[in-house]
């Protein structure tokens, strides 16, 4: 999709599935911190989750994928829907009208962009270093934000973000996470920091290692991370086959 087509506000009524949007919480991991990719809205002093609309004949999941691809430059991303936000008052037609005026797009009072929207939230896990953040036509910046320092967000986007984090934590309890967030090779401490950041609590170094190794989804390489201070840690990588298997089967049951 080229630049011309990307300017969503110029589309006609009838281009998109009406009253429906997708919003993506894109998680990355950098400097031992979980980060999210946010857009700075033009004119307004608020940030927003990358989102978009679904073409009339497009699969909803595919639309989310498209948004991801446009903002990060990446394809084939781990992406999962987690909640539909459907309160009638979550839309702010006045705010959207302001956007249209700012962009100097003529519009009628019944313009599709001013209707009520319900939105499906997705969360995505990406490898931070491979991402090239790219703003869309309604935003003047696209940047990573530390999860602890997220600025004021548009509409109910803060709620969406919180719910995404909750969903991510839940996933952690019964599925492996990491393949999508880390580089191909990583150390055990790096993986542990990732888990700790998502969970928001400290874990015992030795118990973590034992538990994660017991899942039998990791392969230790004969390499070590050199150049760092202190003892050089081993490098690991995921055994993709076993990783996929664990994703499907779930790690533990409870029952």
Partner DNA sequence: ACAAAAGTGTTACGGCTACACCCATGC
Partner DNA sequence: GCATGGGTGTAGCCGTAACACTTTTGT
56, 101, 205, 220: which one contacts a copy of itself (CB under 8 A)? Answer: 56
Rounded distance, CA 46 to CA 48, Å? Answer: 7
**Binding partner of 209, given DNA, a copy of itself, none, CB within 5-8 angstroms per partner class:** DNA
Phi and psi of 177, rounded to 5°? -135, 145
- CA distances for 17 relative to 57, 119, 204, angstroms: 8, 12, 48
169, 234, 240, 250: which one contacts DNA (CB under 7 A)? Answer: 234
Closest among 52, 117, 54, 129 to 91, alpha carbons compared: 117
- The site that binds a copy of itself (CB under 8 A) totals a number of residues, namely 32
From the number of C-beta atoms within 10 Å of its C-beta (0-12, 13-18, 19+), residue 1 rates as exposed
The answer to the question of residue 111 lying near a copy of itself (CB under 8 A) is: no
Cα 166–chain centre separation: 13
Min dist. Cβ of residue 83 to a copy of itself (A): 7
The answer to the question of residue 255 lying near a copy of itself (CB under 8 A) is: yes
Closest among 142, 7, 131 to 73, alpha carbons compared: 131
Place of tokens 């019944």: 110
14, 231, 241, 248: which one contacts DNA (CB under 7 A)? Answer: 231
Kindly give, in sequence order, each residue whose CB lies less than 8 Å from that of residue 178, ignoring residues fewer than 6 positions away.
186, 191, 194, 195, 238
**Binding partner of 106, given a copy of itself, DNA, none, CB within 5-8 angstroms per partner class:** none
The answer to the question of residue 229 lying near DNA (CB under 7 A) is: yes
Q: Restricting to residues 149-188, name those near DNA by CB under 7 A.
A: 187-188
Q: How far apart are the first and last CA of the chain?
A: 47
Q: Restricting to residues 188-207, name those near DNA by CB under 7 A.
A: 188-189, 204-207
203, 225, 237, 242: which one contacts a copy of itself (CB under 8 A)? Answer: 203
Min dist. Cβ of residue 132 to DNA (A): 29
Enumerate binding residues for a copy of itself (CB under 8 A). Answer: 17-20, 54, 56-61, 81, 83-84, 86-88, 116, 118, 120, 170, 172-174, 195, 199, 203, 251-255
């Amino acid at each position: 999709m080229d630049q011309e087509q990307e300017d969503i506000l110029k589309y006609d009524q009838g281009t998109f599935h009406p009253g429906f949007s997708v919003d993506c919480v894109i998680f990355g991991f950098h400097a031992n911190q979980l980060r999210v990719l946010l857009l700075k809205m033009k004119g307004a002093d608020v940030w927003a989750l990358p989102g978009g609309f679904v073409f009339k004949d497009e699969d909803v999941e595919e639309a989310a994928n498209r948004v991801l691809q446009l903002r990060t430059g990446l394809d084939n991303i781990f992406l999962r829907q987690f909640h539909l936000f459907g309160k009638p008052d979550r839309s702010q037609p006045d705010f959207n009208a302001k956007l249209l005026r700012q962009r100097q797009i003529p519009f009628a009072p019944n313009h599709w962009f001013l209707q009520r929207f319900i939105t499906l939230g997705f969360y995505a896990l990406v490898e931070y270093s491979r991402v090239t953040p790219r703003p869309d036509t309604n935003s003047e910046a696209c940047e990573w934000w530390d999860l602890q320092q997220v600025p004021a967000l548009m509409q109910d986007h803060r709620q969406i973000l919180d719910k995404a984090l909750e969903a991510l934590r839940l996933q952690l309890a019964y599925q492996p996470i990491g393949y999508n967030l880390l580089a191909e090779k990583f150390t055990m401490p790096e993986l542990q920091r990732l888990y700790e950041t998502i969970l928001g609590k400290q874990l015992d170094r030795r118990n973590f290692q034992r538990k994660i190794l017991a899942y039998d989804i990791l392969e230790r390489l004969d390499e070590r991370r050199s150049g760092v201070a202190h003892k050089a840690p081993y490098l690991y990588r995921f055994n993709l086959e076993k990783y996929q298997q664990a994703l499907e089967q779930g790690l533990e049951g409870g029952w």
